[in-house]
Amino acid sequence: MGNKKIAFIGTGVMGSSIVKHLLKANYDVTVFTRTKEKAAALIEHGAKWAETAGAATLDADIVLTMVGYPSDVEEVYYSENGIIENAREGMNFIDMTTSSPALAKRIAKDAEKKGIFSIDAPVSGGDIGAKNGTLSIMCGGDEETFQQLLPLFQVFGKQIVYQGEAGAGQHTKMCNQIAIATNMIGVCEALAYGKEAGLDAETVLQSISTGAAGSWSLSNLAPRMINGDFEPGFYVKHFLKDMNIALAEAEQMKLPLPGLQLAKEMYQELVEEGYGEKGTQVLYKQYSAR
């Protein structure tokens, strides 16, 4: 698929690394992000620049979007000079934003009217996974289209799984975020307990990160907590958005999720304290400040 022209909308912490992988794989990539300065390094690496999401779409075969919130997804797809207005038959949409399953279904339905297939493909793995090209990608939409796009996903992903019809990728990402949310509480409490017991935190991690307690957060984020590194691999404000989406979906299902509710309340406090643009590991401050 290396001869395909790619439009990439949104070049944040993870999006920038994905674009670099695409450029390295010799894709022709045009980027758009709200602040051109944030895309300067990508332009230096060979990416083209478009003034709007619609302008990026005009000459593309595949449009990938990775923005912040469902409202941002709606804006780039449905605004007057957005993606859908400027799309043409035979294109593919891939939304990698963690967003609403209902919105993913809406985009797929509206795209199909124009002869376009849309895949919702949220990712997990944070800044590390994006840099290493080892993201987990959860895909919903037409299965034949997914198979056609698989070589593209393999440029920046490792665990790439088709989950079902449109919206299924987003529902799977909600499962992912629910598991992370409560696990992050456990990681923080384990480190806090070890500290109070007078243990060396790094030595504790040597034992527990490879045993039954092992998790991605324990291996990758606990060392950052210990070193006081709270810079974002994934923003607190975006994690809070994800938890709110999951809780809203669960409410529609009449499914109580008390663990997720607790994590949401703790992260809400962090946002109110000004930590919204820190990494999710900043939850440790809830325990280490005492």
Query: pLDDT tens per residue, the chain (290 residues)?
Result: 557 899 999 998 899 999 999 999 999 999 999 889 889 999 999 999 999 999 999 999 999 999 999 999 999 999 999 999 999 999 999 999 999 999 999 999 999 999 999 999 999 998 899 999 999 999 999 999 999 999 999 999 999 999 999 999 999 999 999 999 999 999 999 999 999 999 999 999 999 999 999 999 999 999 999 999 999 988 999 999 999 999 999 999 999 999 999 999 999 999 999 999 999 999 999 998 65
CA distance 209 to 211: 6
CA distance 49 to 43: 7
pTM of this prediction? 0.93
HSE (CB half, 13 Å, CA atoms) of 187? 28
Catalytic residue, candidates 20, 105, 173, 278: 173
The answer to whether the beta carbons of residues 22 and 6 sit under 8 Å apart is yes
Residue 11 burial (10 A CB sphere; 0-12, 13-18, 19+): buried
Q: In Å, what is the CA distance from 90 to each residue of 30, 76, 121, 124? A: 18, 19, 19, 28
Backbone angles phi, psi at 257, to 5 degrees: -130, 75
Residues present in the chain in total: 290
**Residue 180: helix, strand or coil by DSSP?**
helix
Active site residue 173: yes
Phi-psi region of 176 (alpha: psi -120 to 50; beta: other; left: phi over 0): alpha
CA distance 278 to 175: 23
The answer to whether the beta carbons of residues 194 and 204 sit under 8 Å apart is yes
In 3D, which of 176, 127, 119, 130 has the Cα closest to residue 155?
Answer: 130
